[in-house]
Amino acid sequence: MDSPLSVPALADFRRIVIKVGSALLVDRDRGRIRLPWLYSLVEDIGVLHRRGCQVMVVSSGSVGMGRTMLDLPPGQLKLEDGQAAAAVGQVAISRTWAEALAYQDIKAGQVLLTLGDTEERRRYLNARSTLKRLMKLRAVPIINENDTVATNEIRYGDNDRLAARVATMASADLLILLSDIDGLYTAPPALNPKAEHIPVVPRISAEIEAMAGAAASELSRGGMFTKIEAGKIATAAGTHMLITTGHVKNPLRRIQEGGRCTWFLSSVSSSSARKSWIAGALEPHGTLHLDKGAVEALRRGASLLPAGIRWLEGDFQRGDAVILRGPDGGEVGRGLVAYDAPDAERIIGHPTSDIEQLLGIKGRSEMVHRDDMALSSE
Ligand code: GLU
């Protein structure tokens, strides 16, 4: 599957998110952070930084480090033990990053995110300005999920998708996932000696997704599956993604020197970043079922009016992301809905001119404005 496509060079990028997995950073057997490796990575970050590139780091390891420090038992942790471990481990992780970056004369800024910070538009805009400001001030954000308050229901769960959401939120042009494997293979290489490395993925096809499914059991905790999910989020928003091994010192220099990796290329221009945010919503809050005429109108570039909606599902609120489905049940796109579910229920199927009479207020004429909508390709 070698591809003739040319790949970009690291020097071409001006804003890069680097995701570092737990297993790379924390030596669980010895209960400590792998400092020589971290310092070699930070040396590479220093090179990018001095070149004017804005760098963000998504670092895992809080739970892994904290559970060792607190002597918690092996195996699945109870929710509150995981939260406590994260609280203790996060301090150690952040301090170590800050100290390592200080050697390169770079300041670190800790950013802990919860799911709502990327999924709710207002909070997303707020987190985005914080990141942009930090980078303007030439500090490197060290980002993780706020595992101390995350619950099993409300969490990203894996830092691959978190890193992709952060990369798209900050309009990064590259996301690097440092992993325990040097890219995507046609099958798990440890099990199948015929597995072939794939250097470039121009588009995440069903075939690529199937490879990730097959490889998941052999790979890191997030597995290849969450990495491909991250790839979908990133490339839909104009961010290229690269997976490579972090099991070497100076892993970024190794990429520059032509070390093996897999590139996931994006063909989307980042000017449609808002639409990508909508398309990549991790947790839509409901579904609007449209009639045929409404689907056709959307494809022509129109907004979605209440009249074109046959029925709806979900307990969404104004501003939430919802899925739009056509008469055959297929997903037509996603959008931010302009009404809470109970109000929406009252006006669907009605002409826009009836809204005031039905709700007692002169609400918006569209259920989903076309600027707030990302259509799936036909
Ligand atoms: N946020 C978790 C931690 O810092 C890691 C999640 C992951 O490894 O994907 O421990």
Please state which architecture CATH assigns to domain 276-375.
Roll (2.30)
For 233, the enclosing helix (H) or strand (E) is helix 223-236
How far, in Å, is the centroid of ligand 1 from the Cα of 145? 7
For 111, the enclosing helix (H) or strand (E) is strand 107-113
Residue 157 CA: nearest ligand 1 atom is 6
Give residue 235's pLDDT: 87
Residue 220 CA: nearest ligand 1 atom is 8
Give residue 341's pLDDT: 95
Lowest mean pLDDT among 35-39, 94-98, 210-214, 285-289: 210-214
Which of 265, 240, 269 has its CA nearest to residue 5? 265
How far, in Å, is the centroid of ligand 1 from the Cα of 58? 9
How far, in Å, is the centroid of ligand 1 from the Cα of 24? 12
Which of 72, 246, 101, 238 has its CA nearest to residue 159? 246
Q: Beta partners for 375? A: 333
Residue 65 CA: nearest ligand 1 atom is 10
Determine which residue's CA is closest to atom 5 belonging to ligand 1. 60
Q: How far is CA 226 from the centre of its chain?
A: 10
> Domain locations in the chain?
10-268, 276-375
Give residue 296's pLDDT: 95
Q: Is the whole model's pTM more than 0.85, yes or no?
A: no
Ligand 1 environment, Cβ below 6 A: 21-22, 60-64, 144-145, 147, 158-159, 221-222
DSSP 305: P
- Superfamily of domain covering 10-268: Acetylglutamate kinase-like (3.40.1160.10)
Query: What is the phi/psi pair of residue 202, to 5°?
Result: -75, -20
Residue 22 CA: nearest ligand 1 atom is 8
- The percent of residues above 70 in pLDDT, for the chain, comes to 92
Taking residues 56-84, report their average pLDDT.
Answer: 94
Give residue 219's pLDDT: 35
Judged by DSSP in three states, 122 sits in helix
Determine which residue's CA is closest to atom 4 belonging to ligand 1. 60
How far, in Å, is the centroid of ligand 1 from the Cα of 260? 25
